[in-house]
Structure 1
Amino acid sequence: MKKEKRHALISQIINENSITTQDQLLFFLEKYGIKVTQATISRDIRDMHITKVPDFNGNLRFVVYHQDDRDPVQKLLDNARIVAISITQVHFLNVIKTIKGSGNAFGANLDELDFPEITGTVAGLDSVVVISKDETDAKKVYDMLAKYINTKEVEAS
């Protein structure tokens, strides 16, 4: 099977099923009579920009990433409304808690922006640490994001 047709089938499988591992994807492909190696699946995942996102139960599943033509700042702020739970400024750091499984993607959104107030980010499963060079820059980051994070209690130190 040609790569383009395999990619279309992979996209269909991912859209119709909750696929959480490459082995599951291989299993579904075999049900359609397609035998490929783990290396081929890994390349397909990379080429198709397949990523994992949390489903409604918080379990990570594959989705095909589609190019987002929104302005990167607007994309970050929209995502903050959806996945960010809280933000806390601690000296020159901001700690952002996210819904389970969204920390890495939200950190990547921040990294995309190349804000001068952000020296770097460290992201995990459900949190992002935003590092600034000083408290003034950290406060600017906090002020930008805090109004978009839907929390009952947003803290600043």
Structure 2
Amino acid sequence: MSNRVRQQAILRLVRDRAISTQAGLVEALREEGHDVVQTTVSRDVQELGLAKVRAPSGRLVYAAPGADDADRRHAIGVAMRRYATGVERAGALVVVTTPSGYASALAQAIDEGRHPTIAGTIAGDNTIFVASRNGTSVAALADELRQYLEKD
């Protein structure tokens, strides 16, 4: 099997399935009849620039580089609905509240989602400070994060 065919199969698999390990990729490729070893898959992962992203399930899975902004925002929305209990603007920051012990998990999901208007987060036990990028309206960011809580 050619390098190109195998790498196209990998891209299709990570798009269609939640695969979190190289061993999982090897297994999925073998199920489709590709004869591969983990060292080859490891090289393919590096060459393709695959990254681990948080799936809606909360699990880290492989994704192709340049994941679509809509996918990233969806992942952030899923995490917000799972963990957040409130959102409010506080000066130059957005404050997101969670039940005790969940702020870190939500902050990590927000950071890994690489939202284009979020510079970063700082998490405590039940509170997250979300800093917007320069030129971004804090009020608009707070409204967007609040809207995630209102969606089904």
TM bin, normalised by shorter chain, reads 0.5 to 0.7
Q: Answer yes or no: is the 8 Å Cα contact 2:80–2:148 preserved in 1.
A: yes
Residue matched to 1:53: 54
Identity %: 14
User: Structure 1 residues 5, 95: CA separation in 2 closer, same or farther (over 3 Å shift)?
Assistant: farther
Residue matched to 1:104: 111
Deviates more, 1:84-93 or 1:16-25: 84-93
TM-score by length of 1: 0.52
SS across alignment from 1:19: coil
TM-score by length of 2: 0.53
Q: Answer yes or no: is the 8 Å Cα contact 2:79–2:109 preserved in 1.
A: yes
Q: CA deviation at 1:63?
A: 3.7
Deviates more, 1:31-40 or 1:4-13: 31-40
User: Structure 1 residues 59, 13: CA separation in 2 closer, same or farther (over 3 Å shift)?
Assistant: same
User: Structure 1 residues 121, 50: CA separation in 2 closer, same or farther (over 3 Å shift)?
Assistant: closer
Residue matched to 1:21: 21
Equivalenced residues, count: 130
Q: CA deviation at 1:87?
A: 2.1
Q: Distance in 1 between matches of 2:78 and 2:25?
A: 28
The equivalences for 1:47-126 within 5 A come to 49-55=50-56, 57-64=57-64, 68=68, 75=70, 79=74, 83-85=79-81, 86-96=86-96, 102-106=109-113, 108-109=114-115, 112-113=116-117, 120-122=119-121
Residue matched to 1:43: 46
Residue matched to 2:6: 6
Residue matched to 2:139: 140
Q: CA deviation at 1:2?
A: 2.9
Residue matched to 1:155: none
* Contiguous gaps of at least 5 residues in structure 1: 153-157
Q: Which amino acid aligns with 1:26?
A: V
User: Structure 1 residues 81, 7: CA separation in 2 closer, same or farther (over 3 Å shift)?
Assistant: same
* Contiguous gaps of at least 5 residues in structure 2: none
Q: Distance in 2 between matches of 1:141 and 1:16?
A: 33
1:113-138 per-residue CA deviation (whole Å, 9 max, x = no partner) reads: 4xxxx7x31378xx9642269xxx88
